[in-house]
A and B are shown apart, each in its own frame.
Chain A
């Protein structure tokens, strides 16, 4: 330990070990935490059309339009090991063609430091709600849930679903006159 270079070298090596221990501590202390939170969802308007799917395979498919409200308090999910929450509103339903369908309608990134209380009204979907076929027409049970992907500083990336889902029936007929 008699030159600046060797001192700096061992200091550097020690700081690396300390960082590694801190990271492990960060991971272990938050690995088994429950990250769910209550969510209130409400759907105010549903419109159904049948058009050619311009986002992908060009065949006539059901296209749904939904206006919704979300209210959720995510304050408890943030802790020292959470960097951001990736929120997504997804619709899940079953059709004749496919047993399980899931479509993400809207998403949002909430960083640590942003306001964790969400109160969103009259939101329109961010992504087109196309079905793979014509399974939305007359579908009695389309369930909307708000879930989030917890992105930690280091550790597990869990997907958590908020408690509170809403199931809506889709109309039996296509809307040809009104536009969204």
Chain B
């Protein structure tokens, strides 16, 4: 029933109004794209907002939580920071904490990571023969956090509506 109402509205519009609607839609989409790209520039990260995919950082982060990242060059990587990185050849980003860093005079840095909830460091996850991560593997450093799907009230309301 909803789709038929929409089609009636469309038929009632003349060509100019239709074009106006299409342009409106295009404006919304490009504004969203501009905001996203703008965020990428400000934070310096190719993916300013990421979702936590595994339980390796519990009890701090659970699956589904949002992390806000920055990756500015002036901020050096230091131990204790939560970094989101990709292993060469793999698509999935991993969110873990920096355990060890060795930085040379020229600024070249190599570091080791470990998940809070894991017993051992990440050397088992890295590529065969790779012992350290470098700046190029980093997607960003976690600076802000928002937890998702944890509100008990919202979950109860959802059950209420589904039962109806």
Contact = CB atoms under 8 A, between A and B. Distances in A.
Interface of A: 4-5, 8-9, 11-12, 15-16, 19, 23, 55-57, 83-84, 86, 88, 90, 97-104, 107, 109, 111, 127, 132, 147, 149, 151-157, 159
Interface in B124-163: 131-132, 142-147, 151, 153-154, 157-158, 160-161
Given A86-B60, A88-B79, A101 B101 contact: yes
A149 B105 CA distance: 27
Residue of A5, A23, A107 with highest tally of chain B CB at under 10 A? A107
B112 A56 contact: yes
B123 interface: yes
Given A16-B154, A83-B60, A99 B104 contact: yes
A109 B80 contact: no
Contacts of A101: 101-103
Contacts of A157: 82, 142-145
Contacts of A5: 161, 164
Contacts of B146: 23, 154
Contact of A104 (B100, B103, B143): B100
Interface of B is mostly: mixed
Contact of B102 (A23, A111, A132): A132
B78 interface: yes
Interface string B81-109: 11000000000000001111111110000
Interface of B: 59-61, 76, 78-82, 97-105, 110, 112, 116, 121, 123, 131-132, 142-147, 151, 153-154, 157-158, 160-161, 164
18 contacts: A5-B161, A8-B157, A12-B157, A16-B154, A23-B146, A57-B131, A83-B59, A84-B59, A88-B80, A102-B79, A102-B101, A104-B79, A104-B99, A107-B116, A127-B121, A151-B145, A152-B145, A157-B145
A159 B104 CA distance: 23
A11 B112 contact: no
Nearest to B163: A8
Contacts of A153: 147
Contacts of B158: 12
B153 to A, nearest CB: 6
A97 B144 CA distance: 34
A4 B161 CA distance: 9
Residue of B59, B79, B112, B143 with highest tally of chain A CB at under 10 A? B79
A98 B143 contact: no
Nearest to A23: B146
Contacts of B151: 19
B141 to A, nearest CB: 9
Given A19-B153, A56-B112, A90-B80, A100 B161 contact: no
Contacts of A15: 153-154, 157
